[in-house]
């Protein structure tokens, strides 16, 4: 865990009697997240004591009143409920009648030296006001001490959310989390005024929800056999779900279940093979990725099964929304299934995309029949959108925009800002804080169709609660402020300081939060003489120390000029403690350093490797293909030409490629090497064939190296042959294959 920010505590001594003195403790700094829409501050404070009363005449907020009393018990304060408004030292909770154009979640919190007045137009507004009051209390409030009185600063806060949908997706399929973890996250969502838990309950790797009509869904589908032969899995009983739903309801959190269809359904098919196109037995998936066995769209038994499942889901979850997934559904099985082809012919569907639209529309009609609203990932736009369907846009913002333009509601959760399973190099705290859930190009009326946003916590590589906490926090705080406050003029520096004030709260909630950003980033400017590295601090309050080739660590003060191959190691420090994971990169000095190659391909804007000079800058890629040092193309092969500027004596040419086949990244079939003394006139000097199967499931880097006799050449050419498409045995056959290259090393 990171070192905690120490808030500025103020102590005022009061003489309680002739023999005893009490200290009044309050925090002078206000670190409320999400930031209220309006806040002003006065010089005084309100002091709680043993006589503090609470006046709450409305029975409609009885549950909120109970939670308020439980909150103050943490600090050793028993609030005295009174039937009439006292003259001083009291909390008043007033529930007003809703008036036109008033947001139901709005609240007004006014504090002076004599009283605290919380007014709202609904119980949820009262609840949000209580969360703000807790953030005004000292962070060590729940650790009562003798002779201490707690206080809050006098403020006037008028607050309401801009977006109605403020959510977090939690995937409990790839890895299972006990119900106490779910409750902890419900508490955290409520504390930061998020109102939706999108609970991902079915997947290829596990079915997590008990269904009475189909007991094999959990008996078989909830468990997978891992590569080491261990059995992994678990599921939530109906009583577990009822307990969690009730807990969430008390805290004004709506739980939206996701029951995936028609893809991401291998666990269900493993339990009931007749639901697939082949009817053949399969096992619950024990790898990550996209798989070709999906629900058969031509089989009426598929729809009978899903309808019975959903009827039990409706009984468990009072939410008006049901998420049906709809994403990443390969069409390979449908293309080769007589039942699916017959369905297409009978329904006059032009292709398999239209068949998926038929599938989604049929389920949408069933949901509407039972007064439920369908949410699906943005693939449900393909082939035609079901009436009244809500689109969750994850592949950028185009899905949200297309939905809004067609008069459909949308939820924004793009991979660029909202995927918290991505590491900090891709999405750090500042990146999340910069998120705008409203796509550009919409007019005022169309913008009304953007319901809000979600942060998505997929758990393929999140095996435990510790990793989960470090991934979600503190990034959730940024998402909460974006969706609640939607600040047009965003001051990240101010937000960053308020985040520091939240760490004591997170520690009290036993949240093992992670770093705000990648502690160290490197900019490499390579010349023929040296590899020049500029280290950048992720936050201004960090100190960097570095070592090259295991030398003694020293404080970084300026650009490093590396003239030899080796490993650069960097560690960041915050408040004199290690901060975040260490940075380590290998550098390779060779004849090609500093030369801009001629590329016979257009590299992906997502994987540039740093631009045109990526293949000669000397910095090597790691086992994380998103580390910024890999350059990639999809489907096409790579041709690279290097002009050394003069004849050089050559002994070896080499490069390296990455394979992660479940992400559609494969090694080249072969690499051809050429040399020349005159521009455009090349002689082939050798071919290095790939001797590793594309089926290899491990993530690895393979070196393609060619040793040559000492010959002189000025020009080097490399051609790497892409396999083009994922093979027929692959989970996504026919999809365009990626080719990731590291460095072209010339020796």
Band of residue 16 on the pLDDT scale cut at 50, 70, 90 = very low
Residues 709-736 have a mean pLDDT of 93
Instruction: List pLDDT tens digits, range 429-461.
Output: 999 999 999 999 999 999 999 999 999 999 999
Q: State residue 22's pLDDT score.
A: 67
The DSSP bridge pattern shows strands 321-325 and 53-55 to be unpaired
Q: Tell me what the pLDDT averaged over the chain comes to.
A: 93
445 sits in the region (left: phi over 0; alpha: psi -120 to 50; else beta) called alpha
Is 4 a residue whose pLDDT tops 50?
no
Model confidence at 13, pLDDT cuts 50, 70, 90, reads very low
- Band (pLDDT 50/70/90 cuts) for residue 571 is very high
Question: How many angstroms from the chain centroid is the CA of residue 641?
Answer: 39
Q: Which CATH architecture has domain 518-586?
A: Sandwich (2.60)
**Does position 384 have pLDDT exceeding 90, yes or no?**
no
Helix (H, G, I), strand (E, B) or coil at 619: strand
Q: Is the pLDDT of residue 365 over 90?
A: yes
CATH class as words, domain 165-508: alpha beta
Which residues belong to CATH 2.60.120.260 in the chain? 588-746
Higher pLDDT, 101 or 503: 503
Return the C-alpha torsion angle 354, 362, 316, 388, nearest 10: 80
CA angle, 736 then 737 then 739, to 5°: 140
Tell me the two tokens of residue 158.
């008028």
What are the Cα distances from residue 514, in Å, to 186, 417, 473?
A: 19, 17, 6
pLDDT band at 14 (very low <50, low <70, confident <90, very high): very low
The rounded distance, in Å, linking the Cα atoms of 18 and 538 is: 54
Which among 536, 497, 489, 490 has a CA at the least distance from the CA of 516?
497
The one-character DSSP state at 380 is: G
Longest dimension (CA), the chain: 101
Q: How far apart are the first and last CA of the chain?
A: 45
Torsion sign, CA atoms 76, 81, 82, 86: positive
Tokens of 694: 């594309």
**pLDDT tens profile 26-72:** 777 899 999 999 999 998 999 998 889 999 999 899 999 999 998 88
In whole angstroms, what is the distance from residue 165 CA to residue 484 CA? 9
Q: Which residues pair with 111 in a beta bridge?
A: 116
Q: Does 19 have pLDDT greater than 60?
A: no
Q: Distance between CA 595 and CA 580 in Å, rounded?
A: 34
Would you state the pLDDT for residue 76?
A: 83
CATH no. for 9-159: 3.30.379.10
State pLDDT tens for residues 92-148: 999 998 776 678 899 999 999 999 999 999 999 999 999 999 999 988 887 766 667
Residue 351 pLDDT more than 90?
yes
Which pLDDT score is estimated for 15? 38
pLDDT over threshold 90, residue 421: yes
pLDDT for res 215: 98
Q: For 220-243, give the DSSP string.
A: TTTEEE-TTS-EEE--B-HHHHHH
- In whole angstroms, what separates CA 83 from the centre of its chain? 47
What are 273-330's pLDDT values in tens digits? 999 999 999 999 999 988 999 999 999 999 999 999 999 999 999 999 999 999 999 9
C-alpha to C-alpha distance for 569 and 174, rounded to whole angstroms:
33
Question: Taking the domain 588-746, which CATH number applies?
Answer: 2.60.120.260
Residue of 415, 425, 426, 436 lying closest to 481 (CA atoms): 436
Task: Work out the average pLDDT over 575-588.
Answer: 91
> Is residue 665 within 8 Å of residue 659, measured between CB atoms?
yes
Ranges of beta strands (E only) in 121-211 are: 148-159, 165-171, 196-200
Q: What is the mean pLDDT of residues 72-95?
A: 90
- Sequence-ordered list of residues with C-beta below 8 angstroms from that of 497, at least 6 positions apart, any chain: 31
pLDDT of residue 733: 87
**E-assigned strands of 160-233?**
165-171, 196-200, 223-225, 231-233
| H or E segment and range at residue 557 | none
Contacts of 676 (CB under 8 A, 6+ apart): 682, 683, 713, 714, 715, 717
Q: Range(s) for CATH 2.60.40 in the chain?
A: 518-586
Contact 209, 183 (CB under 8 A): no
The ranges of the chain annotated as CATH 3.30.379.10 are 9-159
Mean pLDDT of 508-533: 93
- E strands of 660-693, at which residues? 670-678, 681-689
* Separation between Cα atoms, residue 263 and residue 356, nearest integer Å: 10
Q: pLDDT over 70 for what percent of the chain?
A: 96
Model confidence at 212: pLDDT above 70: yes
CA distances 468 to 177, 358, 645, Å, are: 10, 37, 51
Question: What contacts 6, CB < 8 A, 6 or more positions away?
Answer: none
Element of type H or E holding 709 = strand 700-720
Task: Report the alpha-carbon angle 396-402-406, nearest 5.
Answer: 160
What is the pLDDT at residue 74? 82
Stretch 474-503: mean pLDDT? 95
What's the sign of the alpha-carbon dihedral 93, 98, 103, 105? positive
CA distances to 28, 76, 77, 132, 237 from 142, in Å: 18, 8, 10, 16, 33
Q: What is the structure's pLDDT at 272?
A: 98
- So what's the pLDDT on residue 631? 97
Instruction: Quick: pLDDT tens for 587-616.
Output: 999 999 999 999 999 999 989 999 989 999
Rounded distance, CA 291 to CA 725, Å? 15
């Amino acid at each position: 865990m990171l070192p905690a920010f120490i808030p500025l505590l103020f102590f005022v001594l009061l003489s309680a009697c002739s023999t005893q003195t009490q200290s009044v403790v309050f925090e002078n700094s206000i670190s409320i997240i999400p930031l209220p829409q309006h806040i002003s501050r006065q010089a005084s404070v309100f002091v709680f004591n043993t006589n503090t009363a609470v006046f709450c005449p409305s029975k409609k907020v009885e549950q909120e009143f109970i939670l308020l009393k439980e909150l103050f018990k943490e600090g050793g304060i028993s609030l005295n409920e009174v039937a009439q408004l006292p003259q001083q030292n009291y909390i008043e909770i007033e529930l007003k009648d809703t008036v036109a154009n008033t947001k139901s979640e709005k609240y007004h919190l006014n504090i002076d030296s004599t009283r605290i007045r919380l007014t709202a137009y609904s119980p949820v507004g009262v609840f949000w006001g209580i969360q703000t009051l807790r953030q005004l209390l000292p962070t060590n409030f729940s650790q009562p001490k003798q002779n201490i009185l707690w206080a809050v600063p006098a403020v006037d806060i008028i607050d309401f959310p801009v977006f109605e949908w403020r959510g977090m997706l939690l995937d409990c399929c790839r890895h299972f989390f006990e119900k106490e973890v779910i409750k902890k996250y419900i508490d955290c969502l409520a504390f930061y005024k998020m109102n939706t838990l999108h609970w991902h309950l079915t997947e290829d790797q596990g079915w997590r929800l008990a269904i009475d009509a189909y007991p094999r869904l959990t008996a078989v589908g909830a468990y997978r056999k891992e590569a080491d032969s261990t059995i992994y899995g678990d599921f939530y009983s109906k009583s577990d779900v009822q307990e969690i739903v009730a807990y969430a309801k008390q805290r004004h959190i709506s739980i939206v279940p996701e029951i995936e269809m028609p893809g991401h359904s291998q666990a269900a098919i493993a339990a009931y093979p007749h639901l697939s196109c082949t009817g053949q037995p399969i096992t619950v998936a024990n790898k990550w990725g996209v798989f070709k066995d999906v629900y058969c769209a031509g089989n009426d038994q598929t729809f009978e099964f899903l309808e019975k499942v959903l009827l039990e889901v409706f009984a468990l979850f009072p939410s008006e929304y049901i998420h049906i997934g709809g994403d990443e559904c390969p069409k390979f099985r449908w293309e080769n299934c007589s039942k699916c082809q017959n369905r297409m012919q009978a329904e006059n569907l032009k292709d398999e995309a239209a068949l998926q639209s038929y599938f989604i529309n049929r389920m949408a009609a069933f949901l509407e029949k039972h007064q439920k609203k369908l949410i699906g990932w943005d693939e449900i736009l393909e082939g035609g959108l079901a009436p009244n369907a809500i689109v969750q846009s994850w592949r950028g913002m185009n899905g949200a925009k297309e939905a809004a333009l067609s008069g459909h509601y949308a939820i924004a959760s793009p991979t660029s800002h909202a995927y918290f399973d991505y590491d900090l190099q891709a999405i750090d705290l500042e990146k999340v804080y910069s998120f705008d859930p409203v796509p550009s190009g919409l007019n005022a009326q169309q913008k009304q169709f953007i319901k809000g946003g979600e942060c998505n916590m997929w758990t393929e590589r999140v095996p435990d609660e510790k990793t989960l906490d470090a991934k979600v926090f503190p990034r959730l705080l940024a998402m909460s402020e974006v969706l609640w406050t939607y600040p047009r003029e965003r001051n990240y520096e101010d937000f960053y300081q308020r985040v520091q004030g939240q760490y004591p709260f997170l520690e009290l909630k036993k949240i093992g939060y992670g770093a705000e950003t990648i502690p160290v980033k490197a900019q490499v400017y390579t010349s023929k003489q040296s590899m020049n590295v500029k280290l950048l601090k992720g936050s201004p309050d960090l100190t960097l120390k570095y070592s090259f080739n295991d030398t003694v660590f020293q404080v970084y003060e300026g650009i490093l000029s590396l003239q030899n191959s080796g490993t650069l190691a960097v560690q960041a420090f915050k408040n004199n403690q290690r901060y975040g994971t260490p940075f380590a990169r290998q550098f390779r000095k060779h004849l090609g350093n500093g030369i801009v190659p001629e590329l016979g391909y257009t590299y992906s804007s997502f994987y540039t490797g740093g631009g045109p000079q990526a293949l000669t800058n000397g910095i090597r890629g790691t086992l994380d293909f998103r580390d910024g040092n890999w350059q990639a193309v999809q489907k096409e092969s790579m041709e690279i030409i290097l002009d050394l500027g003069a004849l050089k004596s050559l002994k070896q040419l080499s490069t390296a490629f990455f394979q992660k086949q479940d992400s559609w990244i494969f090694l080249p079939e072969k690499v051809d090497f050429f040399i020349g003394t005159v521009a455009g006139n090349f002689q082939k000097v050798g071919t290095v064939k790939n001797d590793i199967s594309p089926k290899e499931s491990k993530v690895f880097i393979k070196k393609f190296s060619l040793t040559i006799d000492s010959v002189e050449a000025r020009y080097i050419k490399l051609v790497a042959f892409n396999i083009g498409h994922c093979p027929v045995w692959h989970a996504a056959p026919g999809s365009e294959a990626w080719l990731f290259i590291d460095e072209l090393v010339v020796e």
